Amino acid sequence: MATLSARAERWPLAQAFVISRGAKTEAEVVVAEIVDGAHRGRGECVPYARYGETVEGVIGQVEGLRPRLEAGLGRGELQDLLPAGAARNAVDCALWDLAAKRAGVRAWTLAGRTRLDPVKTCFTISLGPPEAMAEAARENARRPMLKLKIGGPDDLDGVAAVRAAAPRSRLIVDANEALDFDDLRRLAPEFARLEVKLLEQPLPVGQDGELEGYQSPVPLCADESLHTRAELAACARRYRLMNIKLDKAGGLTEALALAADARALGIGVMVGCMVATSLSMAPALIPAQGAEVVDLDGPLLLAKDREPGLSIVGSLIEPPPPELWG
């Protein structure tokens, strides 16, 4: 009989991670673990206050599944038992990991892939004074893609500073809902002039209906507005790319379905993450195959990752070892 447990972990960051909603100095994660005889499956999630989640609440949701898990809970049934979010993500990924261990194959084989290729990830530059953002960009100027955070309409100088410090890197700007539509129309041509390749979630959720019919000079990507396939049709009218995160989607199962449906609609796929360890990133490498943008730099932001972790050389992430996940 399988047993289910959940625990909270704290992982210090190499330096403060700052976005428009605030700063953090550690990653708070919840790890779900399912043990079935000699086999163990794990999944990691990040409870996110923006979505009303807490560490204690997520642990409670996971542990509430224990009777169902002991009775043979599967991934399909899980989708109906918990809403999309961190708790479902941790359990879903643990079930994928356990299934791979039981079958003696890699998780991507169960997902219908013959192999998993390495991917290149963005590296995130936190919000700060322009000179601090420029220094961080200069230290990472050899990376192929940098993603920088802005906190409002007055942060154009920070974008310009990063562009000057890393002239060869592709740039993504992530507003985390910090602009209004007038800000966007004013700033988008300036972002285009600075060769920004993508702008994530410029407007708050609930206000991005204003984007319908707007021809942005910089491609727009949905993040907070997109969690599951339920929001896909609306987002497809407003954005050219979708940022799929397993914590938002509620696990690998929904993330794979969401990526497939987005591609069927001709929408570009970005696969992103919360700040977390390699255990969170490993399952996301499966939907990241063929994605236009990969942003799985969580382990690069930590003071120390778990062992074993992902092998990341520069910005290139190798497939996970089975001891880590899948």
Strand partners, 40: 35
Give the range of the structural domain holding residue 151, as residue numbers without chain letter: 119-317
Same domain, 238 and 277: yes
In a domain, 312, yes or no: yes
Mean pLDDT by 10 residues, the chain (326 residues): 94 88 90 95 97 97 94 94 98 98 98 97 95 97 97 95 98 96 98 98 96 97 98 97 98 98 97 98 98 98 97 98 98
Mark whether 149 is an active-site residue. yes
In a domain, 295, yes or no: yes
What pLDDT does residue 237 have? 97
In a domain, 325, yes or no: no
Same domain, 162 and 250: yes
Domain boundary among 80, 105, 130: 105
What pLDDT does residue 21 have? 75
What distance in Å separates the CA atoms of residue 216 and residue 263, rounded to the nearest whole number? Answer: 21
> Which domain CATH number covers 68?
3.30.390.10
What six digits make up the tokens of 16? 């403060």
Is residue 296 within 8 Å of residue 273, measured between CB atoms? yes
Catalytic annotation, pick one of 24, 149, 197, 304? 149
Q: How far is CA 294 from the centre of its chain?
A: 9
In a domain, 323, yes or no: no
Mark whether 24 is an active-site residue. no
What distance in Å separates the CA atoms of residue 135 and residue 60, rounded to the nearest whole number? Answer: 42
Same domain, 230 and 101: no
> Which domain CATH number covers 179?
3.20.20.120
Q: How far is CA 102 from the centre of its chain?
A: 27
In a domain, 78, yes or no: yes
Is residue 94 within 8 Å of residue 282, measured between CB atoms? no
pTM, two decimals, is 0.96
What pLDDT does residue 319 have? 98
DSSP labels, 33-88? EEEETTEEEEEEE---GGGT--HHHHHHHHHTTHHHHHTT--HHHHHHHS-SSHHH
Same domain, 261 and 159: yes
* Three-state secondary structure call for residue 134: helix
- Work out how many domains the chain is built from and give that number: 2
Catalytic annotation, pick one of 24, 101, 197, 245? 245
Same domain, 94 and 176: no
Same domain, 195 and 234: yes
Nearest-5° Cα angle at 129, 124 to 134: 55
What pLDDT does residue 22 have? 81
What pLDDT does residue 70 have? 86
In a domain, 12, yes or no: yes
